[in-house]
Structure 1
Amino acid sequence: MKKKATKGILLVQLGTPDSPSTKDVRKYLTEFLMDGRVIDIPYLNRTLLVKGIIAPTRAPKSAKVYESIWDKETGSPLMYYSKLQKDALQEALGEDYHVELAMRYQNPSIELALSKMEGMLLDSIRVIPMFPQYASATSGSIIDRVMELIRKWQYFPALSFVNSFCEDELLIEVIADHAKQHDLAEYDHYLFSYHGLPVRQLGKIDPTGQLKCPENGCEQCKVQTNSYCYVSQCYATSRAIVKKLNLPEGSYSTCFQSRLGKEPWIQPYTSVALKELAESGKKKLLVFSPAFVADCIETIDEIAVEYAAEFKELGGEKVQLVESLNNDPKWIESLRRLAVDAKN
């Protein structure tokens, strides 16, 4: 007889459309961008912007990109690797644990995953947002949604959350291992590209409203790790990888991709970094994307295709993307440790 699980682990990724059709992509973009933690403006303004402008205009273009990376058998790369991670973690944890996978936007939903866990009468549930660096728009949104749903339960298991794991030893080791699959000496610059955020959101972690963040982050954020500053944690991850690979000073830089709209986002922008590197005579770039734990549209297309083409047009020769964590056994062990260590 199978042993009853007493501990639940909920892995939550950002999300992916159900299919690469324009209809499903529009639905995904609408749910994603209507989140008040993602576009933090008044609801009416957000509705007009997202439903009236962004989703209708971006959906057809994004659908074509999703179609280019979509596998007929396994579907979205993000979903494919997320399922592998979930299954591998379940095997690593054993029968005492029950692991569920959810997407913050679209399917499988957090609501569906929690409804399954509610009926199991678990002693504890540990939620792991699958983002190494904490941001209100990612990990914060997931935690917010879980708390919103679980407060309706008639009983409350012990509940815990992983805030971030930006300097996790095994995570850094996996990224370094994947980088070493390429001839490091072949590249004349190493670029760490993270997902961007509006600068305005950085200052909102201060409840007094007095914190004003510069567009490229505070200087101290580039050398010290702040548990709630996204920029600080991105630079912390870069430093850890640089140290692990023993990269020489001056051979690497950190930048931020995926801007939306005209307001200032965290700088330097990846597109600007590519231009400056090309102008300085750099020809071959090895690009890391340490904000993602699985290859997805932002890595497979935005970096490996879009930025690669852009860099070549600027006079560069090669952009090589370092594979994400995906289902590397060391990353699964890292997840196992995050799942069982309540101190994180």
Structure 2
Amino acid sequence: MYVQQHFGKQGILLVNLGTPDAPTPRAVNRYLGEFLTDPRVIDNLPGLAQQVLVRGIIAPIRSGIVNPFKPGGSTKLYQELWTENGSPLKYYGEILTAAVTERLGDEYVVRLAMRYQQPSIESAVRELIAEGVSSITVFPLFPQYASATTGSVHQEVMRVLSKEQTIPNVHLVNSYYEHPLLIKVFADNARDVGPLSQWDHIIFSYHGLPQRQLKKADNSGCHCYKVEGCCNRIGQVNQFCYSAQCHATTRAIVAELGLPEGSYTTSFQSRLGFDDWAKPYTIDVLEDLAKNKGAKKLLCFSPAFVADCLETTIEIGVEYQEEFEAWGGEHIQLVPSLNDDPRWIDAVVGMLTERMGEKVLTEGQ
């Protein structure tokens, strides 16, 4: 079998969504302005209208830039999230990058990038090119594929590389939503919390997407929201459907934990605007469980996220907890994010080396 020789090191680009540089109105305004003007994120407005709406209205109001002495809603949330180490998303990304670098050794160059803000994809790719790497493996830190996340990362990487005279071998990782290494980490984190029998119900809460974006991923035009149980299995027509991949992640974790049917629900959070988003909404599920089912104690997975962020720490851990208590519930236990868990680092190293056709021993081997 022919194996192409590598004359330089192999590059790895770990990419997460992004975070403001600081929990201040100006920094949050910059972040929201870049994030919300991505046409893959807000995909139903012409470019100029999107720029005017986001940069002239949405970002200034949500960040509080119009009145720096009275932070907007988004800035307040980031101030709650911020730690002594800064943004958890970036902090844990840096730890992951350093650990993967150490484990893979001198033949690899690993860089962290954020799709929005710093460190940018452009700066990280330029560093890899400057190192003379013979290949770049792009590994988005999103287990499930969505145009607004992984798709946007891949597009930006290709935009940056298109400016280069010579382009190294490029491998774009699409998703790993039911990879056994990932699934086991989520399952083990749940086991670490305590016996699963103590919970009245288990929720798998994923970041939501507008239904129009889910339908766009259906190139056949005859499956998404047109076939009953369209997300119940992965096939050719829905292989890139975010919702279908989320349901597949749930099924894999459920199988690993041996959860009985009826003891869990897959739902979606973080809805914005008035359009229909992926359903059911997590907040509606919580209300039903508390008011109609008498649930008091819930266990909640967030398998779309690999590090602490607004959607886990604040939205579920604070906002949903308050709503649940108001409806008669007692406690929502969030399954810890993967963060800097050695098992997560093992999983990333394993998935990377598997895709590059090599094997690197984990710490436990």
The alignment's TM-score, normalised by the length of structure 2, stands at 0.89
Of the three residues 13, 23, 27, the one matched with 1:24 is 27
In the alignment, which residue of structure 2 is the partner of 1:102? 113
CA displacement 1:257-302 (0-9 Å, x = unmatched):
0111111111101111111111221111100000001111110101
Work out whether 1:243 is the aligned partner of 2:246: no
CA distance in 2, matches of 1:223, 1:128: 25
Q: Percent identity?
A: 51
The total of aligned residue pairs comes to 338
1 CA distance for matches of 2:128 and 2:90?
20
State the distance in 2 between where 1:336 and 1:181 align: 22
Aligned to 2:306: 293
Residue 284 (1) aligns with residue 297 (2): yes
Deviations 1:100-144 (Å, cap 9, x if unpaired)?
Answer: 000000000001001111112211100001100000000000000
Work out whether residues 283 and 318 of structure 1, in 8 Å CA contact, stay in contact via their aligned partners in 2: yes
Q: Structure 1 residue 212: deviation in Å?
A: 6.5
Q: What is the Cα deviation at residue 62 of structure 1? A: 1.2
Aligned amino acid, residue 265 of structure 2: S
Residue of structure 2 aligned with 1:56, choices 50, 53, 60: 60
Cα 1:5–1:298 shift into 2, 3 Å: farther
Q: Pick from 328, 333, 339: which aligns with 1:326?
A: 339
Residue 77 of structure 1 corresponds to 88
Q: Would you say the 8 A contact 1:192–1:255 is kept in 2?
A: yes
After the TM superposition, which of the residue ranges 50-59 and 256-265 deviates more from structure 2? 50-59
1 CA distance for matches of 2:228 and 2:62? 33
Contact 2:214–2:224 (Cα < 8 Å) also in 1 = yes
Give distance in 1, aligned partners of 2:289 and 2:219: 38
Task: Tell me the CA shift for residue 246 of structure 1.
Answer: 1.0
Residue in 1 that maps onto 2:3:
none
Match in the other structure for 1:34 = 37
Kept after mapping to 2: 8 A contact 1:199/1:213:
no
- Does 2:269 align with 1:257? yes
Letter in 2 for 1:221: C
- Report SS of the residue matched to 2:290: helix
Report which structure shows greater RCO (CA 8 Å, sep ≥6). Answer: 1
Structure 1 residues 164-175: aligned runs within 5 Å: 164-175=175-186
Deviations 1:182-233 (A, max 9, x none): 222221000000000010011212446x346339x85131233643010110
Change (3 A) 1:282 1:40: same
d(CA) in 2 for partners of 1:310, 1:185: 24
2:16–2:115 Cα contact (<8 Å) kept: yes
Distance 1:218 1:88, change over 3 A: farther
Q: Deviation per CA, 1:308-343, whole angstroms, max 9, x where unpaired?
A: 111111111111100111122222122112222337
Greater mean alpha carbon deviation, residues 327-336 or residues 17-26: 327-336
Q: CA deviation at 1:57?
A: 2.3
Please, which moves more after superposition, 63-72 or 15-24? 63-72
Paired with 1:218 and 1:325, the residues of 2 have a C-alpha distance of: 33
Q: Name structure 1 gaps, 5 residues minimum.
A: none
Q: Following the alignment from structure 1 to structure 2, what is the Cα–Cα distance between the partners of residues 160 and 329?
A: 25
Secondary structure of 2:311's aligned partner? helix
User: Residue 18 of structure 2 aligns to which amino acid in structure 1?
Assistant: G
Pair 1:342-2:355 in alignment: yes
CA distance in 2, matches of 1:150, 1:241: 37
**Superimposed CA distance per residue, residues 44-74 of structure 1 (whole angstroms, 9 cap, x where no aligned partner):** 22123312332122221111111112123x1
Q: Secondary structure at the match of 1:341?
A: helix
Counterpart-to-counterpart distance in 1, 2:224 and 2:239: 16
Contact 1:222/1:231 (<8 A) preserved = no
The equivalences for 1:122-133 within 5 A come to 122-133=133-144
Aligned letter for 1:201?
Answer: Q
Instruction: Report if aligned partners of 1:133, 1:234 keep a CA contact under 8 Å in 2.
Output: yes
Counterpart amino acid of 2:62? R
TM-score computed with the length of structure 1 as normaliser: 0.94
Q: Which residue of 2 aligns with 1:220?
A: 230
Aligned-residue CA RMSD in angstroms?
1.7
Structure 2 match to 1:313 = 326
| 1:87 is the counterpart of 2:98 | yes
Is 1:7–1:98's contact at 8 Å kept on the other side of the alignment? Answer: yes
Deviates more, 1:104-113 or 1:276-285: 276-285
